[in-house]
Amino acid sequence: MNTDKKQPYINSSITNKIATITFYTPASNSFPSLYLTKLTDTIEEISKNKEITTIILKSEGEGAFCAGASFDELLSIKDSVTGKKFFSGFATVIDAMRRSPKIFIGRIHGKTVGGGVGLAAACDYCFATEKASIKLSELAIGIGPFVIEPAVSRKIGKTAFTQMSLAAHEWKTATWAYNHGLYSELYETTEMMDIEIDSFSKRVSEYNPDALLEMKKIFWEGTENWTELLHKRAEISGKLVLSEFTINALNQFKNK
């Protein structure tokens, strides 16, 4: 197990019928493309394990849960093909979670932005702390939360998604996220949350695996076109990131 906090990593462990996937990157747990690919591969590999019924998704540290996609890599995009590939990173992760027969439990311990909100939305059940405020900041830099929209709207509804998207500079509180259905449970401290996650995941993992599988299908009814849809959305962002507006906005952010 990688314990060097200076290097990014995707770790996984299995206890009885429960798998835990932990990710870490130094830049507030934001994702370079390479580690989105590794996360997708880890999800798909664990999903093949018939002994596993439940997957806990978490990140390392006490700061942000996930700051979305890598800002440095975003700045390096020079053509639409590379842009689509970059934005397809979160698309493949969300789609892998959707297609997986396992129940995903999210552990959201801190602030989450953009693609991180998409990861939380793709979980079947989310635990969060009061520090876990959320923001969709994409419009502020000239793109939009196109790839994660289906997952987020599915959880909180189109009206709440619209509010988040247009208020691109505004943090929504963890209580707001809980009231709108993104978070299933909300706790004052990480310690309290972890106790409940442990209890809940053990209970869920003991349910009839066949029943869980059938319930997972019901949870995600109507999303059968998402593999194609999410990648079409990635193509939109991949073009917009090359616009003069976005290039100027990104450079302003970089120079702050």
Interval 70-84: pLDDT, tens: 888 888 888 999 999
Residue 50 carries which side chain, given as an amino acid letter?
K
Confidence of residue 5 (pLDDT cuts 50, 70, 90): low
Quick one: average pLDDT of 148-172?
97
d(CA 134, CA 13): 27
Q: Which pLDDT score, from 0 to 100, does residue 256 have?
A: 66
In the predicted structure, residue 124 carries a pLDDT above the cut 50 = yes
pTM across the whole model: 0.94
Residue 6: the pLDDT is 77
HEC-encoded secondary structure of 19-53: EEEEEECCCCCCECHHHHHHHHHHHHHHHCCCCCC
The dihedrals phi and psi of 10, each to the nearest 5 degrees, come to: -120, 115
Confidence of residue 2 (pLDDT cuts 50, 70, 90): very low
What was the pLDDT predicted at 58? Answer: 98
Q: Which amino acid is at 198?
A: D
Planar angle of CA 96, 98, 99, nearest 5 degrees: 65
Measure the CA dihedral 225/231/232/238, to 10°: 170
Q: Is the pLDDT of residue 149 over 80?
A: yes
Show Cβ contacts of residue 175 under 8 Å, excluding neighbours closer than 6 positions. Answer: 130, 186
The pLDDT of residue 247: 83
User: Could you tell me which CATH number the domain at 9-191 has?
Assistant: 3.90.226.10
Rounded percentage of the chain residues whose pLDDT exceeds 90: 87
Q: Is the pLDDT of residue 4 over 90?
A: no
What mean pLDDT is predicted for residues 108-125? 98
Q: What is the pLDDT of residues 6-64, one digit of tens each?
A: 799 999 999 999 999 999 999 999 999 999 999 999 999 999 999 999 999 999 999 99
Domain ranges for the chain, please list them. 9-191
Residue listed under structure tokens 């970089």: 254
Which residues neighbour 65 within 8 Å (Cβ) at sequence distance 6 or greater? 29, 59, 108, 109, 110, 111, 112, 116, 120, 132
238: pLDDT strictly greater than 70: yes
Please say if the pLDDT value at position 1 is more than 60: no
Supply the pLDDT for residue 34: 95
pLDDT cut 70: percent of the chain above it: 97
Relative orientation angle of helices 80-99 and 226-240, to the nearest 10 degrees: 150
What's the chain's average pLDDT? 94
